[in-house]
Amino acid sequence: MISAKMQKALNTHLNEEFYSSYLYLSMAAYFEAKNLKGFANWMRIQANEEQMHGMKFFNFILQKGGKVTLAEIGAPKIEWKSIPEVFADTLKHEQKISGLINKLVEVAMTEKDYATNTFLQWFVTEQVEEEANVEEIVQKIEMIGDNKSGLYMLDNELGSRVAAPTVA
């Protein structure tokens, strides 16, 4: 059984993961409109990953005998001034999610909910990877600057990203 406090915190975060998916879909649409198919591909895959993360929380809550509560998902930002701004927002968002995961770990420890703490450790590790991946793209964008050839090459690189296989 899961405590009411832990259940509420997990449900709140579940909705954050679904919002993340929605945000990255919005970013994919932004890039599609600019004919940057590689950037859009990267964001679509990111959106799918966030959807899967949300489903991990969904399934975990149910496995612990809890009740899933889906909340309204707010509309994400739809316009950016530039590619660097999109990825700066992406990095900020991933850092925010890392902070939220850390707070969930604190709740699990306070509640002495060791099963939830173990579940959350996957997300702690995942967020390190997420932030590092986005930081690498931010650095490449900074290096490219206004070089259209560099932008073209990065678009191709991001277009080669494939979704990681899902684990049942």
Count of all residues that appear for the chain in the document? 168
Distance, CA of 3 to CA of 115 (rounded, Å): 12
Distance, CA of 137 to CA of 84 (rounded, Å): 9
Whole-prediction pTM: 0.94
Which residues, at least 6 apart from 116, have a Cβ–Cβ distance to it below 8 Å? 2, 6, 10, 60, 64, 104, 108
pLDDT band at 123, cuts 50/70/90?
very high
pLDDT at residue 166, rounded to an integer: 65
pLDDT in tens, 86-115: 999 999 999 999 999 999 999 999 999 999
